[in-house]
Structures are given as C-alpha cells and as structure tokens.
Structure 1
Amino acid sequence: MSSRSAILALGLLAAGPAAAHVSLEVQQAPANSTYRAVFRIAHGCDGAAMTRFTVRLPDSVTEARPMPKPGWTLRTTARGAAPEGHGNVPPLAEITWEGGRLDDAHYDEFVIRLRLPDRPGELFYIPVVQDCEGGTTAAWVEIPEPGVRVTQYRYPAPALRLAPRN
C-alpha cells in the first residue's frame, strides 16, 4: 500500500459512514471483481424530498448493471458501444433513477452491480448526486486530495477500498 493510499484510508476511516449522507453498504471489495454497490441514502436535501438520484461511474468501470426500483424510472447514459457477444451491454457513464420520491424523514437504497478496476490497495470513489424538490441538490462528488482528511470535505463521494484478489 502506498503512503498516499494509507493516508486516504485513515481519512476515510476517521469519517466513517455516518459522516456522509450517501454511503456504500460494503466499503471493501476485491479489485477486478464484480461488486454489488448498495448506495444508502440517509435522507433528502435539507428538508426537501429527493426526486432523482444519479451515479457518475468512473471511466475505470467497464461493466455496470443497475437494479430497477419500483416507483422510479431508470435511465442510463452509455460511455461507448457494447462489446460483441450475447448479453453484453455498453459501458455506462451515468445511471439515474428519477420520478420517485424519498421524503427527508425516510431512508432508501439504490443498487448497481459493477466490475471494479484492478487497482488493489486504492480507495475507489463513485460520485453521486441527489436532486430534490425545490431545485435543491446535494452533489456527493468531492474526492479527497492526497494528505487531506475526508472529514474536511462537505460532500465527499462514497468510497470503497479495493482489496487484493484472493
């Protein structure tokens, strides 16, 4: 593990999942594996209900399949063409659920199955954006700079540690 990774890991651990309003249920997974990303949404935006949730997939995610959610319309934005073969889908740049409603007093989860990059030891950030009634937005897109604690950011992106593959 590089010293940069160690510093970032300490910052992430110090913040803990309670520091962010959007977090991942499982915060460590083997690099270059299929991962079930469960995004936990603690509430809406400053008292307003959430009506759209967007996940911005890093370029290093080569495969992603979102889970439909009753009461929400699922929309995807492709990054390129699908590779040839049965069941192959194009790499995705964004996944958005919209048209539903998550009241500020409630909690919910959104799920994507994705292929993680092959970078063991790194923290892998997945930026997300909550859009709420009245035009309020919470963009959880901040990726900590080396040597800066995640707790120093107001809107840190959800992150997970890429562990060595067994």
Structure 2
Amino acid sequence: MSKILSRALLSSALFLCAGAHAHVTLVTPSAVAGSYHKAVLTIGHGCDGQPTHTVTVRIPAGFQGAKPAPKPGWTVTIRREPLARPYVSHGRTVTEDVTEIVWSARSDEARLPDDQFDEFAVRGQIAVAPGPMWFKVRQDCPAGQLDWSEVPADGGTSTRGLKAPAALLRVEPAEGEHAHH
C-alpha cells in the first residue's frame, strides 16, 4: 500500500473517530473584545442514540446582554440574576443580566435526532478584556444528558484530555478605542 493511501486511510479513520466523540462547538470560535457577537453553538449529536429535547447554555461572565435566537418548535426560557458588578449599556446601568438560556422542544417531532445536528444562537456584547470565554452547554435527552462544561484547570485554552469540554470563544484584543454595532 502506498504511503499516500495509508495516510488517507489514517486521516479518514481519525476524522470518523473525532465525529463519534464530537462535542459542542462554536461556528465562529473568536471575537473581538468590546464587539457584539453572535455565538452560534453547534450540537453535533444526541445522547447515546437518543434525541435531544433540551439545550441549556450557561452564559459566561463578560458576555453582556445575551439575547437568544428563537427556534421553530422550541420554547426559549431566559434566566437572569443580579450582577456583582453592574455595567452601563446605552446610557443605562444594568444590575442584572442573562445567566442561562434554555431551549426546550415543544413536541417529540421538534427534538433533535441523534443522527442530525443543529445550531443554537445567542447574541451579546463581549466584555472588554481579551482571553478565553467558555460557554457551558447541557443537552438533555429522554434517558440521560451530556454536560459540556469542562474547562482546562490551568486556565488555558487546550481542551486536550477533557471528555466533555465547554465551547471556547477566544476573545481577541480590540484594534481601536471603540467597537461599533
């Protein structure tokens, strides 16, 4: 067997294995500090062959004014909590903000089948400080759940060795003084 064919087969096998252990990812994995960002989270599969009926996204600190995108067939629930540090948005002091968004399928037909993927989106403003921002996501299925909430213990960005990593948004420094929306 040629080296090229061997490499092609190995690459295909690695790709298929990665797909079998797919996790929640962000369509756009980076954003600029101070900008408005649409975080589109991709759910790649259900729970051990079962469909997903609920997706819960825990909004990371520094993702301000989160607004979910509606999904046909799903109900959206928003949880807000008081902030330890209020911020000013459009001339108004914000003392509580969105900490969790839950999408729940309204019927069995609306559930996300295990052999399909879907996207769940939330828009907000990125806090000014650059660095990693982790979106923790939980999928609920009829007989179990997947909790994509692990983050590196060292504060870094490598998810190597994590079995259920949270979705990483890399916040880059802003180029200018003011970000516009």
Over 6 Å off, 4+ runs = 81-89
**Could you tell me the TM-score, scaled by structure 2's length?**
0.73
Alignment partner, residue 14 of structure 1: none
Q: How does 1:53-132 map to 2 (within 5 A)?
A: 53-80=55-82, 91-99=97-105, 100-120=110-130, 122-132=131-141
**Could you tell me the TM-score, scaled by structure 1's length?**
0.79
The Cα of 1:148 is off from its aligned counterpart by 8.5
Percent identity over the alignment is 35
The Cα of 1:86 is off from its aligned counterpart by 10
Secondary structure of the residue that 2:53 maps to in structure 1? strand
Between 1 and 2, higher relative CO (CA 8 Å, sep ≥ 6) is seen in 1
Q: State the distance in 2 between where 1:148 and 1:164 align.
A: 16
- Name the one with the larger strand percent: 2
Q: State the distance in 1 between where 2:89 and 2:31 align.
A: 28
Q: State the distance in 2 between where 1:48 and 1:139 align.
A: 15
Q: State the distance in 1 between where 2:35 and 2:90 align.
A: 20
> What is the root-mean-square deviation in Å for CA atoms of aligned residues?
2.7
Q: State the distance in 1 between where 2:157 and 2:97 align.
A: 31
> Which structure 2 segments of 5+ residues have no match?
1-17, 176-181
Change (3 A) 1:88 1:45: farther
Change (3 A) 1:148 1:23: closer
Alignment partner, residue 178 of structure 2: none
> Which structure 1 segments of 5+ residues have no match?
1-16
Q: State the distance in 2 between where 1:85 and 1:123 align.
A: 25
Change (3 A) 1:62 1:84: closer
What is the one-letter code of the residue matched to 1:37? A
